[in-house]
Amino acid sequence: MFSNPLNTTNNTIGSLLANVPTFSNLYKWTGTSYQVATMTFGGWDQPAITLNPGEGAFFQANAAFTNTFVGEVLQGNLTNSIPAGYSIRSSQVPQSADVIALGLDPALQAFDNLYKWNGTGYTVYTKTFGGWDPSTPVINVGEAVFLNTASGGKWTRTFSVNN
């Protein structure tokens, strides 16, 4: 699971992910189903799928590759809406930290879950009245997570590159 950590004038996969191996697939969760794109010999078959900072997707590559994101760091008062139910979200800024430092913790309620892909399955974290079980999750730069919330919320934070 990955995310686009930088904002551009065109946050489409056709612009963000140009040099991926042929027949790789991207799966973006819409809340009810997946938008699916496949890299063909001529490029993405669905190049207009967006991947804005704060969103995330699954990526299945047929070979190892490196992608370099180019853009601007979002700054100021930022809000990432989290719908009730399942959603894929990421930090809107390229910063690696636990969910408390990233400002996600207040957007979630007791018994909401965060699912972090570990390479073979999910590590499930549950927000409790006193913290997180089994531990406080860390979200890395460019990483997305599945959230399952009873009522949704708003992931808000104020960020400046000068701090």
Examine the pLDDT at 163 and tell me if it is beyond 70: no
Pairing between β-strand 58-60 and β-strand 76-82 as defined by DSSP bridges: unpaired
Cα atoms found within 13 Å of the Cα of residue 27, Cβ hemisphere only: 12
Kindly report, residue by residue over 2-12, the tens digit of the pLDDT.
Answer: 999 999 999 99
Cis peptide before 134 (omega within 30 of 0): yes
Residue among 17, 14, 107 nearest 66 (CA): 17
Show Cβ contacts of residue 43 under 8 Å, excluding neighbours closer than 6 positions.
Answer: 14, 18
- Residue 155 near residue 82 (C-beta atoms within 8 A): yes
**pLDDT band, very low/low/confident/very high, at 131 (cuts 50, 70, 90):** very high
pTM of the model: 0.93
**pLDDT band, very low/low/confident/very high, at 18 (cuts 50, 70, 90):** confident
Examine the pLDDT at 162 and tell me if it is beyond 90: no
- Over residues 52-80, the mean pLDDT reads 95
- Residue 55 near residue 4 (C-beta atoms within 8 A): yes
CA distance 109 to 23: 39
Examine the pLDDT at 20 and tell me if it is beyond 90: yes
Give the start-to-end residue ranges of the domains of the chain: 13-60, 76-159
